[in-house]
Structure 1
Amino acid sequence: MINANDCAYNLNDILSKFESNGYSNFTDFAKDVIASNSDGKSIDLIIPMMAYNVILHKDLSGFNSSFFRIEVESISDLIKLASDANGSFISLNDMGLFCVYNDFDIFPLARVYTYQAPSIEIFTSAIKQARSLNIPFNNINLELLTDDKNADARISEHLNNLDNRFKKNKKNLSKGKFITLLLLVVLR
């Protein structure tokens, strides 16, 4: 099941591709979402919703990290995401730029979108391009955004809430079937 309004999030093309061809992995799906949406907030709403359906782990408790990492292929895609992100960072060690979303009500793990430059020239050009569009870097503590200390508790609570909602929906569904059957009997 997909918990999104297809029209509001422009998912129609992605969903039809998902249903007809399928995606072999989460990365292929993420690339499509990033390419077909124009703003970072929309992308970050779709990624966690579909992660439940696409990712191989099926269960968030299988993650051993306090964040969920998504690789981005071009600097323009990262800039699109970074413009709405909670924080953006430069990683000199691996010539990378990344941005973080941490709306834990949507997903219990911070989403970290990363871009790794293939050369120092592309890396410096990417930094200049991002700065020219007023994207601030390293102005917030990364640990604060990923909240490593509380990740396990958040994941556990999130899974528990999902389980409770599923049980409630299942209970309501069975009540609905019973009422429908009762109405059919009465109407005959």
Structure 2
Amino acid sequence: MTARSMVPVQTLTPEQQLQAAALVRQAVPPYYQSLSDAAADRLIANEFGAPGTELEHCRAIVDGDRVAAILCTYPMGELAERQYNSFQLVGRTLEREQFAGFAMNLRQLRGGFPEIAGDGTYLAFITIAEAARGSGLAETVLQEAIAEAGTDPLSLTVRIDNGRARSFYDKHGFEEVAAGGSYAFLRRTAGGTR
């Protein structure tokens, strides 16, 4: 069995970066539905490591030559600015027609999000490759995010209809603090207390 390692996504090979991008795309398919999978993966890979964006500090768990998981976190106070910067990067990257479709889709999705506010750490992405699901890797990755948050709250958004993820987060001390449309905002305080 090959040992797994956690590395910054921007240090991956180009092929592994596309694997990582596909994991991000699969975690939030509504965001990228106006683009082909290949176009979405190139767009996401372009954002890895881009200063001030949501995907600037993503880490990948690599198992052999395959990307098994992605973890992206940043300070909660940077949420709005990072989302804005990510959107601006998309605007500079896509062709005009692609960007118009992406922006219209995003506008519709934003109506399905609750108000998000607070301090601590924001868990933007945690996604596990299908081949690694059920292996305990999600637990390992979440524990990394919890350790990173330290004594600060750890927050995230999750689709309301994603029962598996909601149960997983509930088991780890997250509670719903807001909901709107298709998404819920969850928060975990230090020690998992509510």
* TM-score (ref. length: structure 1): 0.30
Higher alpha-carbon Rg: 1
- Structure with the largest fraction of helix: 1
TM-score, normalization by structure 2: 0.30
Which of the two has greater strand per residue? 2
